[in-house]
Structure 1
Amino acid sequence: MAIFKVLMFPWLAHGHVFPFLELAKALSNTNIFHIYFCSTSINLESIRNNLNQHSSSSSSSSSSDHHLSIELIELHLPPHPHLPTLPHHQEHTPTLMPTLMHAFQLSASTFSDIITRLKPDLLIYDGFQPWSAKLASSQGIPAVYFALTGSIAFSFFHHLFTHKSSDSFPYPAICLHEYEKRDLIAEEASIKVQDVDEGFAFGVFELSCDIVLIKSCCMGVERKYIDYLSTLCKRRIVPVGPLVQENAVDHETDSWIMNWLSKKSKSSTLYISFGSENYFSKDQIQEIAKGLELSKVNFIWVVRSPVGSDHINVEEALPEGFVDRVRERGVLVQEWAPQAAILASPAVAGFMSHCGWSSITESVYFGVPVVAVPLKLDQPVNSRLVVEAGFGVEVVRDEEGKFDGEGVGRAIDEVMLGESGERLRKRVRELSEKIKVEEEDRFCVVVEELSRICTKKSTCS
């Protein structure tokens, strides 16, 4: 069978690199595609460790060597005085976003040389570098956009972009509150400062050939949004599934967390994480802590310093005495946590989340209902979906977007306890089962579509 060469090129952040890597693994495992995976040396080190770990965990499988068809290609960013030599997903990445974006754009000529040298049959690109699709096109190489934001948010914001209003969006449960609209305007202004390419945002759809790949959850929930997005962008939307890495635990910190969790009873523990690039004020951190004290549930909280306070000790941001009062039923994690492994634990019955799309897909995949605390960008829209689809609740906020400890505690109890908790868990487990039934057939379509595009390119060359 012919081997097609596919160059995969994600944005630099952890939340982009690893969904691309999971897709790379799945494609290479078909023995149809040879994958070139392009990123910076810092990211490639993590990717190499991930592939080695995957090889070790699957050594008894007939597919244990499939990582050998993933070839890592280093992208050299131009020197910049404000660009640190540490992973691009570290806590202060948000303050470096303009610098990273600028350096990334300046690497276009280097990437052009990579395309010329590798001569791939296909480029799969991310939304932050529309210029890469243009470079591929200039060399006669088709490009496919891989969208990591969900179809719900993309269809909503594409409608807003097209019609200059969300009032006529055909699914009214998906909406923004007034304070979220104000925040969105500020976020858009920031992005415009960072980006100088007219292909950014929805132009990336137009640069994709006749399909767009999208990270998806459950078709029963998403189908209408996928269909509407396809109408808006005039491309066939091909869902690739959740791309969840059911990773092994191999770090000392991870092992300690999982050991603590293994001693908790079934459906007794809340997992709390708001992603690596989201920050609360000190006041809001204290309200979350207050809600946890009121709820009395066990918890694992991946907690970060308050916004604008990178160097403050996390405990200083928490209510006085909080750590001692919850010591028997809660743990605070200030580094990376094995999210997939935690969500897969029978002890976990809820996930308090910022509602980033990857977190939502993982939550549904593992059958864990959501306590939604969205912050920015697509997160509020994803949170509305959580409520509409019946697998979570959203923490109530005031007109300024602030929440209090009592509201946090009520939302936790609704997800974790009583009949409401049982109802939510039953619903999300139903969705989880559907995802796993759909997974194989859905990926077959992805393989067929990419093979078609590569074949067409080969016959036209």
Structure 2
Amino acid sequence: MGDANGGSMHVVMLPWLAFGHILPFTELAKHIARQGHRVTLFSTPRNTRRLIRIPPELAGLLRVVDIVLPRVERLPEDAEASIDLPSDDLRPYLRAPAAAARHGVPCAFLSLFGAASLSIYGPPEALMGRGKHAKTKPEHLTVVPDYVPFPTTVTYRGFEARELFKPGLVPDDSGVSEGYRFGKCIEGSQLVGVRTSAEFEPEWLQVLRELYQKPVIPVGLFPPPPTQDVAGHEATLQWLDRQALGSVVYAAFGSEAKLTSAKLQAIALGLEASGLPFLWAFKPPADAEPGEGTGVLPEGFEERVSGRGLVCRGWVPQARLLAHGSVGGFLTHAGWNSITEGLTRGVRLVLLPLMFDQGLNTRLLVEKKVGVEVERDENDGSFAPKDIADALKRVMVDKQGEEFGRRVKELAEVFGDDENDKCVRDFLSCLSEYSRQHMDDSIPFQG
């Protein structure tokens, strides 16, 4: 077994079946292969066809292997990722049983959530509903745990905790909760990689090491490069070319969130009221009738913003758009994937958290002074067009926005390729050290 620089490791990667997991796993796989190691990346046939593209120069080191999902009752015929599910209630049916490392192979858990979010949930036993730090009611998610040794606002709002608790921490039809699965994976791994940077979350990484009592290593942010195919979006890029440097707000809310018509209308009217040029990656609402499309937008909206705003339907090359010089702000749901793309491109963030870890991410970014959170009703999480417009103006127009701009530009320099490569080398060195103690030279990643 060679060391991490000897090119003799074989890393096996098995991401959860969601776009937000498969895509960053693929980017990390490329980073590992570029350092001379073999990588096998597993996913399902439909996901490998629509998501995974391997550069020709890495084909000899990076292998993509299809795993055909068994037929599962209640799942739609072609459902192979969470985006394919008509309802979040079907998420448990998309999960396959965990494959434990039963053959003397070291196992690493790769978290695509940041260190702060993981820390708030506590040690693995707490995720599994055991021990003094277990979250047994929503209110437990709204206070900073006593093991956090510094002042922070990183916690959930009341409405966020109530929405998250049942799908995240209460057993579902599979018999265990989503949190339990995370805890079990972390417990069974020899080390944990976190998609973050020591420059960005040093204090939270230390908390996590003490909670897990095993190596916790930042692996970098590894955002997708802005080299996506723009076929069908040429006019969008031409429109951006005509806008002033750093003036445009890019609005997008990820592949997982299913926004209602009411929330989309508030966002639309907020973008209009801001007076700023914007580009919106629009997805139909969760409560739209079949074929309704963008009919849920306010009447006359697209005509009123014509020339100043673009509404793009369907898939958009997000990394390419965020890298464009005209884009200066990002109205986002604060998913960790989108955050990493925004920070590495040096754009200012306006944060509208919608689900999962996004509320925690938002509070972290506000503390780090790289973003502004949209004001919400504390009881039900509702927001008005004015709340959207006010947050956008604070970041893009007001004098305070200059500080946000300076800070994100500094971070963009920190999160460059050199930092990513160093993080990956450190993580692989730790993996190599563990793998020396085993006969098999394969190292599975789970996450």
Give the TM-score, by structure 1 length.
0.84
Task: Tell me which residue corresponds to 1:34.
Answer: 38
Aligned to 1:418, the other structure's residue is in SS state: coil
Task: Tell me which residue corresponds to 1:140.
Answer: 104
Decide whether aligned partners of structure 1 residues 91 and 103 sit closer, same or farther in structure 2, where only a CA change above 3 A counts. Answer: closer
Decide whether aligned partners of structure 1 residues 388 and 46 sit closer, same or farther in structure 2, where only a CA change above 3 A counts. Answer: same
Q: 2: CA distance between counterparts of 1:329 and 1:262?
A: 13
Percent identical among aligned pairs is 29
Q: 1: CA distance between counterparts of 2:229 and 2:221?
A: 23
Deviation by residue 1:109-167 (Cα, 9 ceiling, x = unmatched): xxxxxxxxxxxxxxxxxxxxxx22x2x2x222221111111111110122675524334
1:456 shift after superposition: 2.5
Task: Tell me which residue corresponds to 1:458.
Answer: 439
1:207 shift after superposition: 0.7
Would you say how many aligned residue pairs link Structure 1 and Structure 2? Answer: 418
Residue 102 (1) aligns with residue 102 (2) = no
Task: Tell me which residue corresponds to 1:153.
Answer: 117
Decide whether aligned partners of structure 1 residues 382 and 460 sit closer, same or farther in structure 2, where only a CA change above 3 A counts. Answer: closer
Deviation by residue 1:429-450 (Cα, 9 ceiling, x = unmatched): 1111122263333222022112
Residue 78 (1) aligns with residue 82 (2) = no
Residue 6 (1) aligns with residue 11 (2) = yes
Q: How does 1:215-364 map to 2 (within 5 A)?
A: 215-216=195-196, 218-309=197-288, 311-364=290-343
Aligned to 2:219, the other structure's residue is in SS state: strand
Task: Tell me which residue corresponds to 2:350.
Answer: 371
Aligned to 2:30, the other structure's residue is in SS state: helix
Residue 193 (1) aligns with residue 173 (2) = yes
Residue 423 (1) aligns with residue 387 (2) = no
Structure 1: gaps spanning 5 or more residues:
56-64, 109-130
Decide whether aligned partners of structure 1 residues 291 and 191 sit closer, same or farther in structure 2, where only a CA change above 3 A counts. Answer: farther
Decide whether aligned partners of structure 1 residues 356 and 195 sit closer, same or farther in structure 2, where only a CA change above 3 A counts. Answer: farther
Decide whether aligned partners of structure 1 residues 370 and 103 sit closer, same or farther in structure 2, where only a CA change above 3 A counts. Answer: closer
Decide whether aligned partners of structure 1 residues 310 and 354 sit closer, same or farther in structure 2, where only a CA change above 3 A counts. Answer: farther
1:279 shift after superposition: 2.0
Task: Tell me which residue corresponds to 1:184.
Answer: 164
Q: 2: CA distance between counterparts of 1:191 and 1:96?
A: 14
RMSD over equivalenced CA pairs, Å: 2.4
Task: Tell me which residue corresponds to 1:19.
Answer: 24
Partner of residue 44 from structure 1, selected from 41, 48, 51 = 48
Moved more, 304-313 or 242-251: 304-313
Amino acid at match of 1:439: N
Deviation by residue 1:152-186 (Cα, 9 ceiling, x = unmatched): 11101226755243343424311222212211223
Instruction: Name which structure has the greater RCO, CA cutoff 8 Å, separation 6+.
Output: 2
1:409 shift after superposition: 0.4
Deviation by residue 1:313-361 (Cα, 9 ceiling, x = unmatched): 3422111000111121111122111111111111011100100011111
1:303 shift after superposition: 1.5
Moved more, 269-278 or 246-255: 246-255
Q: 2: CA distance between counterparts of 1:2 and 1:280?
A: 45
Q: 2: CA distance between counterparts of 1:386 and 1:181?
A: 19
1:418 shift after superposition: 3.3
Deviation by residue 1:217-271 (Cα, 9 ceiling, x = unmatched): x423311111101111212111111111113232422333223222211011000
Aligned to 1:458, the other structure's residue is in SS state: coil
Aligned to 2:218, the other structure's residue is in SS state: strand
Amino acid at match of 2:302: V
Q: 2: CA distance between counterparts of 1:350 and 1:68?
A: 39
Moved more, 1-10 or 88-97: 88-97
Q: 2: CA distance between counterparts of 1:381 and 1:94?
A: 26
1:45 shift after superposition: 1.4
Task: Tell me which residue corresponds to 1:116.
Answer: none
1:454 shift after superposition: 2.8
Q: 2: CA distance between counterparts of 1:34 and 1:429?
A: 34
Aligned to 1:252, the other structure's residue is in SS state: coil
Moved more, 198-207 or 278-287: 198-207
Amino acid at match of 1:178: G
Aligned to 1:200, the other structure's residue is in SS state: helix
Q: 2: CA distance between counterparts of 1:259 and 1:212?
A: 43
Q: 2: CA distance between counterparts of 1:190 and 1:276?
A: 24
Decide whether aligned partners of structure 1 residues 443 and 188 sit closer, same or farther in structure 2, where only a CA change above 3 A counts. Answer: closer
Deviation by residue 1:296-327 (Cα, 9 ceiling, x = unmatched): 11111111222232625342211100011112
Task: Tell me which residue corresponds to 1:402.
Answer: 382
Aligned to 2:350, the other structure's residue is in SS state: strand
Deviation by residue 1:13-49 (Cα, 9 ceiling, x = unmatched): 1111111111111111111x2111111111121355x
Partners of 1:354 and 1:372 within 8 A in 2? yes
Q: 1: CA distance between counterparts of 2:79 and 2:173?
A: 23
Residue 212 (1) aligns with residue 192 (2) = yes
Partners of 1:351 and 1:370 within 8 A in 2? yes
Q: 2: CA distance between counterparts of 1:262 and 1:194?
A: 50
Decide whether aligned partners of structure 1 residues 91 and 213 sit closer, same or farther in structure 2, where only a CA change above 3 A counts. Answer: closer
Task: Tell me which residue corresponds to 2:3.
Answer: none
Decide whether aligned partners of structure 1 residues 371 and 314 sit closer, same or farther in structure 2, where only a CA change above 3 A counts. Answer: farther
Amino acid at match of 1:457: H
Partners of 1:303 and 1:333 within 8 A in 2? yes
Give the TM-score, by structure 2 length.
0.87
Q: 2: CA distance between counterparts of 1:269 and 1:419?
A: 17
Q: 1: CA distance between counterparts of 2:272 and 2:51?
A: 38
